[in-house]
Structure 1
Amino acid sequence: MTTPETTTQKPSNWNLPNALTTLRILSVPFYGWALLVEDGDSITWRTVAYVIFFLAMVTDKIDGDIARKRNLITNFGKIADPIADKALTGMAFIGLSIIMDTWWMWTITVIVLVREWAVTLLRLSVLKSVVIAAAEIGKWKTMAQALALGLLTLPLLEVGDEVSWLDVPGEVAYVVALVLLGIAFVLTLVSGYQFFRDVWRQRHDIRSR
């Protein structure tokens, strides 16, 4: 007598979390365009860019929660989700570097993007047999990065030229954004070091067996 095997049907790629991820990817060029209208001096379009960025960050949280709750995790989602995140934050870093045009912002941008894409590409390629859990510091890094980029997307220094009473609040918010950016940068370096350290340890352990 044979016992029929139970099979678990894989979720279809055509689901809500993947649709939200795709929308996030499609929003990147629109965000970049809105951010750089009039070389970043347009209060209206900088505000539009912030709304796009904010909605993208919110949908990132929503699609992950839905995928886990409804068991809709797919191979497409595993690949597309980090690409969407890095594409959006990468566009933010590059766009803000163009607007601010300072050596230190470009330095931060280059270092952060090299770290982010190196980690992402490793996770998607050579680490199929090596599982590196997301560290708590990485979550703090992502939060600080999102808050900093979101605030810097807003026309904090430009709005005071149009509405005088917003001049001081805008400058204060700008300083807060720079502090958050500095924190995000430090956390990026630390979490990156921890990630590559754990990769090396696990791969060394596998080879030693």
Structure 2
Amino acid sequence: MTDVHASTASGGPVVRPKSAPKNSAARKVSLWNIANILTMVRLLLVPGFVILMLADGGHDPAWRSLAWAAFSIAMITDLFDGELARRYDLVTDFGKIADPIADKAIMGAALICLSALGDLPWWVTGVILFREIGITVMRFWVIRHGVIPASRGGKMKTLAQGIAVGMYILALTGPLATLRWWVMAVAVVLTVGTGLDYVRQAVTLRRAGLAAERAHER
């Protein structure tokens, strides 16, 4: 993801004010770098995933397995593109915009397809999408005041969502079908909990930023 990762000594999230990037006059980063290419691959996988997911009525185990493979590749690229961009100084404006869009697109496509096929309740899809879209909007709301780093809870939420949705994509039966319900329940709890924590941090950061601006004006 595009969130900046940081933590306190106890492992909790910290609200970090936005600072000027190092080497502001640094070299120009090419659009065609490995991080952006992985993001583009993830975007291109979305329509392919939907086609595989809905093929032959949407319930054929073979097509669902292929859809799961496409979804898994997208999730794996999500783990690497942001890290590569930060580690090798490959951050671009395109990546900042495209990465979160790609994240939401593949997860949103999977959730909507599952609900449309009757495999996942619509309220689950609604809760997750509302949280993801809402937090994205809130990130832009506070971006001029600073950046809220991704917490351990946020990472666990992303992992739980990926595993749960992946299990629902596969045509599982028996005990595994029951297990996926519990994994999705954990994902929903983490989704709501981390979303509320993000709102709390965003409000705190915005208040601190506004207070600093007023103090500066004096």
TM-score of the two chains, using structure 2 as the length reference: 0.81
Contiguous gaps of at least 5 residues in structure 1: 157-169
2:132 corresponds to which letter in structure 1?
E
Distance 1:136 1:6, change over 3 A: closer
- Partner residue in 1 for 2:206: 203
- Whether 1:150 aligns to 2:183 is no
8 Å CA contact 1:35–1:45 kept in 2: the answer is yes
- Whether 1:14 aligns to 2:28 is no
Counterpart CA distance in 2 for 1:107 and 1:115 is 12
1:13 corresponds to which letter in structure 2?
L
What is the total number of aligned residue pairs between the two structures? 190
8 Å CA contact 2:153–2:190 kept in 1: the answer is yes
Q: Rg larger in 1 or in 2?
A: 1
1:27-42 matches, within 5 Å, as: 27-42=45-60
1:77 corresponds to which letter in structure 2?
G
CA deviation string 1:38-65 (max 9, x = no partner): 3321111101100000111111112223
Q: Which has the higher helix share?
A: 1
8 Å CA contact 2:119–2:168 kept in 1: the answer is no
Cα drift, residue 173 of structure 1: 1.6
CA deviation string 1:78-137 (max 9, x = no partner): 2111110111000111111112266xx100111110110111133245523321111110
1:44 corresponds to which letter in structure 2?
A
Distance 1:85 1:6, change over 3 A: closer
Counterpart CA distance in 1 for 2:208 and 2:24 is 35
1:171 corresponds to which letter in structure 2?
G
Counterpart CA distance in 2 for 1:46 and 1:191 is 30
Which of 132, 135, 147 is the aligned partner of 1:131? 147
1:9 corresponds to which letter in structure 2?
R
- Whether 1:92 aligns to 2:110 is yes
- Partner residue in 1 for 2:82: 64
Which of 31, 39, 42 is the aligned partner of 1:24? 42
TM-score of the two chains, using structure 1 as the length reference: 0.84
Give me the identity figure in percent. Answer: 38
For CA contacts below 8 A with separation 6 or more, give which structure has more relative contact order.
Answer: 2
1:160-179 matches, within 5 Å, as: 170-179=173-182
2:68 corresponds to which letter in structure 1?
Y
Contiguous gaps of at least 5 residues in structure 2: 1-22, 213-218
- Partner residue in 1 for 2:18: none
- Partner residue in 2 for 1:78: 96
Which of 116, 134, 139 is the aligned partner of 1:118? 134
